Amino acid sequence: MDHRAVILAAAMAAVILSPWEVRAQSVVEAVRMGLDNSYILQAERERHNAFIEGQVQVRNLRRPNIQLEATSNIRQRASLNAGAYIRDTSEPGSLSLSAVQPLVLGGRYQAAMREADLRVAQSVARIRGRELSVVREIIEAYADVRRDYQVSEIRAEGVTWLTDQLAGTRARQKEGLVGLTEVSQVETRLASARRLATNAQARLQSSWAILERRMGARPAGLTEDEIHPDDLPDTLLEAIDLAIANSNVLKASRFDEDIARAAARRIQAENGPRVNLQASVSGRSDTSFNGDRDYDAQIGVRFVMPLWSGGQPQSRARAALAESNAARFEAIADERLLTEQVTTAWARLNAARNSKAIAEELVRAAQVARRGAELEFDIGLRSIIEVLNQEQELQEARVGFESAKAELMAAQAALSALIGLDPTGVINERTQFDPSKMAISYATATPGKLAVWERPLVTVFEVVDDAQLDTRSTINTLKRSIFGPEL
């Protein structure tokens, strides 16, 4: 029986081909499938929709509130007058239409919109950071499967070689050339080799399961064992600068300070004046059991100026500013942590490159040593245990080489993710998460779909809001050019 074939068949039994997948995946294809099938990314994008809805809610602060109210009742009145029982019935009703249009919000709209915009921008940074994290995880899982498959194959070859050696040793024992000790030595090594082969099978099955989860589909097979990123920096300082400039995780952390400060301004704006334009039309009928009808129409302006509220808004604003200061210190700590991570990843990458080169030299030396030991054994200069030792050294050198290749692949992916790069090239300006593609059109809003009769009104206000936002953006640009950036 060919033990190598049996072990390989068992090792690949966990890798049942999907009915729709007929060819193996390269690392680029595996990353593309993982990005398309990642439920974690889909969840983050749905959260992004929730933040966009926050922008919608802020825009509604400047839009009119129109309300229609109707009532209908049945009233009965009974009385006893001069011995006569009198009973009256009426059906009073009312219908009113009212509208409130904010005119002045005391800075509430601008502060709330800035906070909502910052939350959307932070969401984009988180999604893009998560995309690179998914890429790194898939590359690491891909490298692990390649390594474990090759190790399983090496262990199977070792079982086959030792099986042949055992058969030859037993034949020589029958001829009286070797004793029982040599046979027992080969049997011991064969038992150990089978144990290692079994462990390699289990590890391969586990690696396939991890890769399948991260890809979101059952891989049919893998075709590559390394990646060749072209954009990795040449020095550690360059890597740190790229990480600080491009890290989406750090960008999301820095947004916390801006969001907390915007929240403080929104709270402070609650003390500003408010002016609303109010209009209403109402009608009532049969309110006094006499069939009367009356109508009322009014229009006016309502001014509200908060004078004192016990210091609650000021306290909430101070709390938000404290959160802003805390977020700033946390962002500094995150930047230091990122520097440490990049330094560690840089050292890991250099070590992995050196380890791969050394492991390759070890394999070549072990192959030469094993061939020499076999030739010397044939002419009686070596014992069987020395040949077995050389074979074991060769196997371990080959296993070490496969581990070094996987470690190099994982180290390249880790450093690339930290500096904001995708070593496979799947994520680029055309394929990465684009917030403009996720933005909601308020005329055909999804999610939060508007009613048909609402769409024309909202569209009109959207045009007005966009024009005002463009004007405010121009004014802010001029202010920054004169007074410098806003604190």
Q: Does residue 74 fall inside a structural domain?
A: yes
Residue 475 CB coordination number (10 Å): 10
The pLDDT assigned to 459 comes to 59
Residue 30, in any domain of the structure: no
Beta bridge partners of 304: 274
Mean pLDDT of 417-440: 75
Does residue 299 fall inside a structural domain? yes
81 lies in a domain? yes
CATH of the domain at 321: 1.20.1600.10
Question: Within 10 Å of residue 464's Cβ, how many Cβ atoms?
Answer: 12
> What confidence score (pLDDT) does residue 338 get?
95
In this prediction the pTM is: 0.76
The pair of three-digit structure tokens given for residue 363, joined into one six-digit string: 């394999």
pLDDT digits (tens, 9 = 90+) for 224-251: 777 877 778 889 999 999 999 999 989 9
With respect to residue 291, please indicate whether it lies within any of the assigned structural domains.
Answer: yes
- Predicted pLDDT of residue 430: 67
Task: Provide the residue range defining the domain that includes 278.
Answer: 3-15+40-436+452-480
Q: What gap in Å lies between CA 103 and CA 78, rounded to an integer? A: 50
Smallest Cα–Cα separation from 151: which of 200, 193, 191, 222? Answer: 200
- Asked if the structure places residue 447 within a domain, the reply is no
Does a structural domain hold residue 29?
A: no
DSSP structure string for 438-479? HPPPTTS-SSSPPPTTHHHHHHHHHHHHHHHHHHHHHHHHHH
Closest to 404 (Cα-Cα) out of 344, 362, 343: 362
Instruction: List Cα–Cα distances, 240 to 216, 337, 339, 385, 415, in angstroms.
Output: 33, 11, 6, 52, 10
- Give pLDDT tens digits for 118-142: 998 899 899 999 999 999 999 999 9
Nearest 5°: the CA angle 125, 126, 131 is 100
Which one of 35-49, 376-390, 466-480 scores highest in mean pLDDT? 35-49
Total number of domains in the chain: 1
Q: Is residue 25 situated within a structural domain?
A: no
